[in-house]
Structure 1
Amino acid sequence: MAKVSPGQFIREVRTEARKVVWPTMKETRITAIMVVIMTTILALFFFGVDSALAAIVKFLLGLLG
């Protein structure tokens, strides 16, 4: 691995940082809304699966008792 001086490292970091393209406010808003929607859908899905499995386990345990 090539070693570079701290000054060279800082220059390279600044050069790379200039290449970063930040999202617009509209893109950020849309992404945030999609995250909330997908999180809600997944929460409902896992709640349904958990409830179904709990009902199955309760039924199977009821057969034993």
Structure 2
Amino acid sequence: MANPFQFIQQTRAEIAKIVWPTRREVMLTTVMVFIMATLTAIFFALVDLGIRGGLRGVLSIFG
């Protein structure tokens, strides 16, 4: 097991390797997440409407 001083040095060396995203990259990624979430919500709403319509049709025949 390494001593605490060596652990702190290694930790600082690893932290120095971190590359933070730019503001533009963060904004672009955020916009893409919102777009994908919206498209996914629309897709599942359409699937829900289709299943609901089909189920109502089946139940009206047998009900």
After TM superposition, the score normalised by the length of structure 2 is: 0.87
Counterpart code for 1:16: E
CA distance in 2, matches of 1:6, 1:50: 57
Cα separation, 2, equivalents of 1:63 and 1:6? 75
Q: State the match for 1:12 in structure 2.
A: 10
* CA-based RMSD: 1.2
Give me the identity figure in percent. Answer: 40
Quick one: distance in 2 between partners of 1:14 and 1:54?
A: 57
**Partner deviation per Cα, 1:13-56 (whole Å, 9 max, x = no partner):** 22111100000000100000000011000100000001100110
1:64 CA drift (Å): 0.7
Match of 1:45?
A: 43
Residue equivalent to 1:36: 34
How many residue pairs are counted as aligned between the two chains? 63
Which structure 1 residue ranges, 5 or more long, are not aligned? none
- The residue aligned with 1:60 is 58
